[in-house]
Amino acid sequence: MAQTDWANRPNTADMRDQYRAVADLARRGGFRAPESGWPAELVLAHLVATNENFLAVGAGVQRGERLDCGHPELVEDEALTRRVAEAGGLAGLAGQLEATADRLAAHADSLTDAEAETQVRFTVYHEGRQLMDEPRAWGNILAGQTTFHLPMHLRQLEALTE
């Protein structure tokens, strides 16, 4: 898979808006079961898990460490189902999403140029398969969260609204 050319750092105002839209939609609820793919709860659990992973990687980048970004459990149904139960459902997940999103946007705002340019091993998994494994600049990964990943899952949630 060819590397997508995202910006070298995220627009954090857009990042905050995207997360707010997802959390607001989750709070409204009224989701139907999908014909295939994840139900709304697993989408939210995946976004929270991804944020927590990004926060850990970002802290490592700021300490000068080279952590891997992306793990299979970020998309494993069993792990995400446990997160849903631990959060108490959509409302709890929406709160967790907002909290982790605020921290992630603050992290992105704080990045130095050197931190944004730090190469991180970026892996993406989907339905049990690894789709991507390549070095990427940390700021580029965060930009992709805002311009690709969040909008994709927002559309997914919108399609599940009744």
Which residues neighbour 126 within 8 Å (Cβ) at sequence distance 6 or greater? Answer: 75
Q: Considering the domain boundaries, does residue 2 fall inside one?
A: no
8 A C-beta contact, residue 50 and residue 74:
yes
What are 11's two structure tokens?
Answer: 């627009």
- Per the structure, the count of domains in the chain is 1
Place of tokens 């609820």: 29
Q: Considering the domain boundaries, does residue 114 fall inside one?
A: yes
* CA nearest neighbour of 45 among 87, 15, 98: 87
Q: Considering the domain boundaries, does residue 149 fall inside one?
A: yes
Q: Considering the domain boundaries, does residue 44 fall inside one?
A: yes
Q: Considering the domain boundaries, does residue 25 fall inside one?
A: yes
Which residues neighbour 121 within 8 Å (Cβ) at sequence distance 6 or greater? Answer: 66, 67, 68, 69, 70, 133, 134, 135
Angstrom distance (rounded) from CA 68 to CA 76: 18
CATH code (residue 35): 1.20.120.450
Tell the burial category of 76 from Cβ atoms under 10 Å away from its Cβ (0-12, 13-18, 19+).
middle
Provide the domain limits for residue 95.
Answer: 12-159
Q: Considering the domain boundaries, does residue 4 fall inside one?
A: no
Q: Considering the domain boundaries, does residue 73 fall inside one?
A: yes
Angstrom distance (rounded) from CA 155 to CA 149: 10
- Could you read off the pLDDT tens digit of each residue along the chain, which spans 162 residues? 344 455 788 999 999 999 999 999 999 999 999 999 999 999 999 999 999 999 999 999 999 998 899 899 999 999 999 999 999 999 999 999 999 999 999 999 999 999 999 999 999 998 778 999 999 999 999 999 999 999 999 999 999 997
Q: Considering the domain boundaries, does residue 103 fall inside one?
A: yes
* CA nearest neighbour of 108 among 43, 62, 147, 67: 62
- pTM (2 d.p.): 0.93
8 A C-beta contact, residue 139 and residue 3:
no
Each residue's pLDDT tens digit, 60-95: 999 999 889 989 999 999 999 999 999 999 999 999
